[in-house]
Amino acid sequence: LKGPSKYYLKGMNSNIDSLSELVEIGDNFISAPGSIILSHDTSTVTHTGKLRIEKTVIGNNVFLGANAVVLPGIKIGDGSIVGAGSIVTKNVPPGMVVVGNPAKVITSVEKYMNKCEERDVLYSLTSEVLEKHRTGIKMTPKEKSRSIQDLYQQYWRKNSNE
């Protein structure tokens, strides 16, 4: 995250545009490292001498995957998931999973969660992680280590025949 922004804690893993007041981020936003949220486009300067500026809106309960890019003027609906490496060039409806370049809807979040449940690939987070989750407060190295060990233990108990 570059520069002062009221969304610093919400977008801790994201690089938010230098025009950060034109980026609105809802509650319970989670971003993975390397993600970028833009509200301006400098490519227009060469051709027009003007900067393209549009407000970008990220809804509530949105996940933005690692190295995903949200272009200026985009609205991502509540409860959506943007996959890692996606380039979001069009608005994302609420409750959808989008992936790719350009990002396209591949399923609903509900169907994706059901598929994860069916495949038995969801694991519980520790209370320490859940308490800090979505607050922007990073875990201490000790908390992170305990959380990782707990996840490994859950995984190996469930997959002991591997």
**7-64 residue pLDDT tens:** 445 556 888 888 888 999 988 888 899 999 999 999 999 999 999 999 999 999 999 9
pLDDT of residue 136: 65
In this predicted model, what pLDDT tens digit does every residue of 70-116 receive, in sequence order?
Answer: 999 999 999 999 999 999 999 999 999 999 999 999 999 999 999 99
Map tokens 């301006």 to a residue: 40
Nearest in space to 102 (alpha carbons), one of 120, 91, 79, 86: 86
Tell me whether residue 10 is exposed, middle or buried, using C-beta atoms within 10 angstroms of its C-beta: 0 to 12, 13 to 18, 19 or more: buried
Annotation marks residue 133 as catalytic = no
Q: Are 23 and 39 spatial neighbours (Cβ–Cβ below 8 Å)?
A: yes
Say how far apart CA 38 and CA 17 lie, in whole Å.
5
**pTM for the predicted model, two decimal places:** 0.87
| Active-site option among 26, 40, 60, 84 | 40
Q: Two tokens at 126?
A: 């520790």
